[in-house]
Structure 1
Amino acid sequence: MEELARESISLLASASAKAPLAAGPRLGSVGAVFIMLKSALGAGLLNFPWAFERAGGVRSAVTVELISLVFLISGLVILGYSSSISGRCTYQAVVKELCGPAIGQLCEVCFIFNLFMISVAFLVIVNDQLEKCESSRPRAMPYHVYTDHRLALLLLCVFLILPLSASKEIHIQKYISCQMFSVEQLHLLTAQLQTVGRLIVLSVSQCHEASIAIYSSMENQRLSHWVLISVVAMIICLVIYSLTGVYGYLTFGQQVEADILMSYASHDVLMLVARLLFGVSIITIYPIVVLLGRSAMFWWQRRGDVAKAQLESRSRYTLTVAWVTATLLIAVFVPDISKVIGVIGGISAFFIFIFPGLCLVFAMRSEPVSFFLTVWGVVTLICGAFIFGQSTTVAVMQLLGKI
């Protein structure tokens, strides 16, 4: 499993992969389902009880989940098919090969922006947990600056997160791999959204971003087998997310917080331990998010320009400091993560709907795609455009205080 995690890191970081994976240990069916689940399950579980409340209850939320399931599985199948006909093994490379350089560049921009906002949301969640821990101190204890949770977050960023993120090779990866983490978990964060539909989109988009790397690593790459893997993984996700949403919603009702951990009492020892472990997990994953973001930005290295590659060290430190500083400032001064995530919620629609739909439409040029599949690609594309437009519009109006 450690080898699979390290292989996944190299796959997602290599946006310009030109050929299928080299011969070596291949991924079996169980391993593929497991990594798909690890890609789709994570911090989004903390938000589903709140999403069920915003959706109006269990019945309406589950209905939206079932409708979304059709498009989620469809997107995974399309991406696997696109990888097989393009011969590429990363999401960005497949989109660039089938849809052209312009759309490929748009895919990379969305990828980087998604990683950046994931970093912001990571720090906001850590800040929330620190604030909750701060509120658990005895009332008789006076407030001091050095007990402020924002100062604690600043110190964490300066003395722990920044040094880990600045190195060229994130050596902590091997320890994260030992905990059975893979880089696909970088995209696990889905924070406070406005509807259960948008939450589902953000929760599973990381799975779609990683799906091509998973498909390319599989021993059996028949499309029918990939369909089975996708269906099994998504149904298991549906069950887990639904059970979590139902339990949290029935427990706290309309008082449920966007982060279910925040709904529990500050003095609950088990919750304090859970917050601590969750914070440690985020802090150890954050540097790898930065690594992937830098890898996608350093486009000159991928083009083999030796002269420009000599600037790598200076650029790496500058970009890392800018990345950590910007995400820290946003996390501190925009504490309502629902507004932050709402702005980029529509980006996930690109990875689940728009890019797969475009790949299916553009595949007509070289592959015997049936008329029905072409129509389905157009429908997927239109749905993605609607979700992106609606999500972005609502988020901007919220930021402006219109709703």
Structure 2
Amino acid sequence: MNYNTSSESCDPLPMQSTITLNISEKDVYSEDTYNPFDHRKVLHPTSTLGSFFHLLKSSLGSGLLAMPAAFKHTGLIPGCIGTALVGVIATHCVHILVSTSREICGHCRVSSLSYTDTCEKVFKHGPHTLRKYSQTVRHFADYAMAGVCLGGTSVYVIFIASSLKDICDHFNPNYTFSVKEYCGFLLIPLIALTQIRHLKFLVPFSLLANICLLLTFVITCIYTFSDLNDISTVKLASSPTQWPLFLSTAIFAMEGINVVMPVENEMRKPQHFLGCPGVLNVTMVLVAVLYAVVGVFGYLKYGDDVKGSITINLPQDEILALTAKVMVATAVYFTYCLQMYAPMDIIWTRIKDSMRQKFHNTGQIVLRTLSVALTVILAVAVPDLELLIGLVGAIFFSTLGLFIPIVVETVHKWDRGLGKFKYILWKNTLLLLFYLLVLVSGCYSAIKEIVIKYT
């Protein structure tokens, strides 16, 4: 991936004389005079369809099958409303992040910027009082990205391990392993897959994962839609004190913002990413509909007995159900690699200059191996799928997907205009309050449940 941030600078031009030409910095670096798309040189560009599959896969991981458990915390009516709300907010935050990144690219005259580069440049060329914090903001974004990577992929490890345990326990009931042991068995296969370093080469895996997830979805629907319980057996609305776990789970499920900038930066036609219909809007509408369907009917079928993944509720002694468990484990396995791509690229960009060129390949292997090992260790430490999803969603996914884009857009627009009646400021203030609600209430609810369960 080539972000061109080292060779192209967006520092102001030096003054050649004291004569003023009445040309402002904004005029010199007008976004209208520099189109970043015309200057992007990507070694392995991704097609629009391939980008759609990548973005869809990043939002359709294990979270899709966790939605029935999320509906358990709200009931049917608040669950449907909440799914739509989270979908709209998540889409909007991705939109403002990408739009801001494109505008700052035009201002700085660079072809593309990563997630963390965007955060840094916005503060570096924002209000004067905030410019000194540009490096701090970059580090914060990096840490948030690392948290999403480690927390999210640790959930994936537990998800795969739980599915494998169900499958193997059926075929060999006399000798079983724990979920923690299956997490350990996954270490080598995950390390091998994560060595793929170009997003273009992940397109076949992303397509395969989407097919497996689609077939799993179909099989799950076959079981879910048969012999549905009466609506009177489930709650239309639960106590609001249980809603925070729904919000954090839904945000975990829908947020794929750590993959957004690499996908957009490596598109052959990046102008197809935003707009209507656009890759982003089409993907998120499909995602929201799928989440609502799985959540509603999964909760109707299994009620309060629904597990962290609805596939765990499927029968263990039927071939069709076992097939679904194999395919969903395969889908999440390939999703793991896609979710690890962006953080690995960011970390490698920051450390590669500290070692000699001939050691770059070895350095990449070591970095990716250690990162995978850390996610497996975290999965072994907290092997509870539902609660870990809620905790990771509340802390890391909400920070990366809600808080940072909100702050970045506000800072970027501060001197450039906040719109009529400063609507951008009011809108982002409401979004910030929503983020704080998810963060505080989601963490409290998840930690409380963890303490209760393990004590």
Verify same fold: TM over 0.5.
yes
Aligned residues: 372
Partner in structure 1 of residue 66 of structure 2? 47
Q: Which residue does 1:161 correspond to in 2?
A: 190
> 1:258 is paired with a residue of what secondary structure?
coil
Does 1:203 find its partner at 2:257? no
Q: 126-135 or 66-75: which moved more?
A: 66-75
Report what 2:166 is aligned to: 132
Distance 1:31 1:91 in 2: 20
Change (3 A) 1:167 1:259: closer
Give the drift of 1:210: 3.5
Q: TM-score, normalised by structure 2?
A: 0.69
Matched, 1:327 2:375: yes
Give a deviation string over 1:276-298, Cα, whole Å, max 9, x none: 22223333443555554443323
CA contact (8 A) 2:249 2:390 kept: no
In structure 1, distance between residues paired with 2:73 and 2:361? 47
Pair 315,69 (structure 1): closer, same or farther in 2 beyond 3 Å: closer
| Deviation digits for residues 160-195 of structure 1 (CA, Å, limit 9, x no counterpart) | 33344457779973652563769xxxxxxxxxx963
Question: Structure 2: how far apart are the matches of 1:288 and 1:339?
Answer: 23
1:257-307 deviation per Cα after TM superposition (whole angstroms, max 9, x unaligned) = 1210011111121121122222233334435555544433235445x4454
Alignment of 1:182-331 (within 5 A): 195-206=245-256, 208-215=257-264, 217=267, 219=269, 221=271, 225=275, 230-287=280-337, 289-290=339-340, 292-301=342-351, 304-307=353-356, 312=360, 315-331=363-379
| Cα offset, 1:128, TM superposition | 0.6
Q: Are the counterparts in 2 of residues 116 and 293 from structure 1 also a CA contact under 8 Å? A: no
Tell me: CA distance 1:152–1:109, structure 2 relative to 1, closer, same or farther (3 Å): closer
For the residue of structure 1 that corresponds to 2:78, the secondary structure is helix
Q: Who is 1:391 aligned against? A: 442
Identity %: 15
Structure 2 residue identity aligned to 1:117: G
CA contact (8 A) 2:180 2:383 kept: no
Paired with 2:360 and 2:53, the residues of 1 have a C-alpha distance of 36
1:165, 1:287 within 8 Å by CA — same for their partners in 2?
yes
Residues 394 and 311 of structure 1: is their aligned pair in 2 closer, same or farther, counting only changes over 3 Å?
farther
Counterpart-to-counterpart distance in 1, 2:137 and 2:4: 14
Q: Distance in 1 between matches of 2:147 and 2:286?
A: 29
1:93 equivalent in structure 2: 117
Cα distance, 1:59–1:210 mapped onto 2, change above 3 Å: same
| 2: CA distance, partners of 1:131 / 1:26 | 36
Residues 1:69 and 1:125: Cα distance change in structure 2 (over 3 Å): closer
- How big is the shift at 1:61? 0.5
Q: Alpha carbons of 1:281 and 1:382: their partners in 2 closer, same or farther (altered >3 Å)?
A: same
- Using the TM superposition, give the Cα deviation of residue 63 of structure 1 relative to its aligned residue in structure 2, in angstroms: 1.7
Select the residue among 144, 157, 165 that pairs with 1:110.
144
Q: In the aligned structure 2, how far is the partner of 1:291 from the partner of 1:236?
A: 23
Assess if the C-alpha contact under 8 Å between 1:117 and 1:344 holds in 2: yes
The gaps in structure 1 that reach 5 residues or longer are: 1-9, 183-192
> Helix, strand or coil for the counterpart of 1:383?
helix
Q: CA RMSD in A?
A: 3.7
Q: For 1:211 and 1:166, how far apart are their aligned partners in 2?
A: 20
Q: Does the CA-based 8 Å contact 1:172-1:284 persist in structure 2?
A: no
Contact 1:55/1:61 (CA < 8 Å) preserved in 2? yes
Give 1:356's aligned residue.
405
1:343 aligns with 2:391: yes
- Provide the C-alpha distance between the structure 2 equivalents of 1:379 and 1:227, rounded to a whole number of angstroms: 26
Q: Distance in 2 between matches of 1:162 and 1:312?
A: 17
- Give how far 1:330 is off: 3.0
Cα separation, 2, equivalents of 1:291 and 1:32 = 14
> What do the CA deviations read for 1:185-232 (whole angstroms, capped 9, x no partner)?
xxxxxxxx96322222112210x3344455554747499825866544
TM-score, normalization: structure 1? 0.77
Compare CA radii of gyration and give the structure with the larger one. Answer: 2
How far, CA to CA, are the matches of 1:298 and 1:214 in structure 2? Answer: 17
Q: Conserved in 2, the CA contact under 8 Å of 1:15 and 1:92?
A: no
| Paired letter, 1:66 | A
Aligned position for 2:202: 173
Q: For structure 1, which segment, 384-393 or 170-179, has the greater mean C-alpha deviation from structure 2 after superposition?
A: 170-179
Corresponding position: 1:37 with 2:47 = no
Query: For the residues of structure 2 that align with 1:319 and 1:170, how far apart are their CA atoms?
Result: 17
1:108-159 per-residue CA deviation (whole Å, 9 max, x = no partner) reads: 1111221112221121112111221233247xx6337xx666545433424x
1:30-79 per-position Cα deviation (integer Å, ceiling 9, x unaligned): 776665434322322111111112212x1111121233344233213312
Q: CA deviation at 1:83?
A: 2.1
> 1:199 & 1:44 partners in 2: Cα distance?
7
**Which consecutive unaligned segments of at least 5 residues does structure 2 have?**
9-35, 106-111, 124-133, 212-242
CA deviation map 1:371-401 (0-9, x unaligned): 1112212322332233223323333344444
**Which secondary structure does the structure 1 equivalent of 2:185 belong to?**
helix
Relative to 1, partners in 2 of residues 1:16 and 1:279: Cα closer, same or farther, differing over 3 Å? Answer: farther
